[in-house]
Amino acid sequence: MSTILILNGPNLNLLGTREPTIYGATTLADVEQLCREAARPHGHEIDFRQSNHEGVLIDAIHEAGRAFKAGTLIGVAFNAGAYTHSSVALHDAIKGVDVPVIEVHISNVHARESFRHHSWLSPVAAGIIVGFGVDGYAMAVDALARRAAKAPR
């Protein structure tokens, strides 16, 4: 059994009450449950985190790199929220460690304001899941599990 880190950035703690027409009524606790259910059939565990602080997210990516190297973690599903569009530091953090990171967005960022069209994470992501609502988190869990099953280390 290995772990999948689900990492959530700024304002995602407000899920359920924040702009429900865009992000829906599902809370972050519901998303955590969804991820645990998605991981169970694959026999993996979920480490579920949220932070509003860029440095905490950077530290979590570094920690994920160490865990991937140790063979205890198979990857990260990362919804970096607005830091997606601004953070060179998160780009560098992902680039600086060896761990597959799937970029997740609940909304279709490409159908929204132009400042959401650019992502600093996409060039360093193993894959991108955008616009499927919170189901995108379950898709990312599946994708990481399938990836690990194909390339066991």
Residues making contact with ligand DQA (CB under 6 A): 11, 79, 81-82, 84, 105-107, 109, 116
Q: Which of 42, 44, 91, 105 is catalytic?
A: 105
The residue whose two tokens read 């519901």 is: 30
CB of 116 or CB of 147, closer to ligand DQA: 116
Element (H, E) at 116: none
- Active site includes 105? yes
CB of 94 to ligand DQA, least distance (A): 15
Q: Which of 23, 42, 44, 83 is catalytic?
A: 23
CB of 15 to ligand DQA, least distance (A): 9
The answer to whether 70 touches 32, Cβ cutoff 8 Å, is no
Burial 109-128 (b: 16+ CB within 10 A, else e): beeeeeebeebbbeebbbbb
CB of 42 or CB of 105, closer to ligand DQA: 105
- Active site includes 137? no
Nearest residue to ligand DQA, using CB?
Answer: 81
Q: Cα(138)–Cα(140) distance, rounded to whole angstroms? A: 5
Burial 34-57 (b: 16+ CB within 10 A, else e): bbbebbeebebebbbbbbeebeeb
Biggest CA–CA distance in the chain, Å, is: 42
CB of 45 or CB of 135, closer to ligand DQA: 135
CB of 53 to ligand DQA, least distance (A): 14
CB of 24 or CB of 45, closer to ligand DQA: 24
The set of catalytic residues is 23, 105
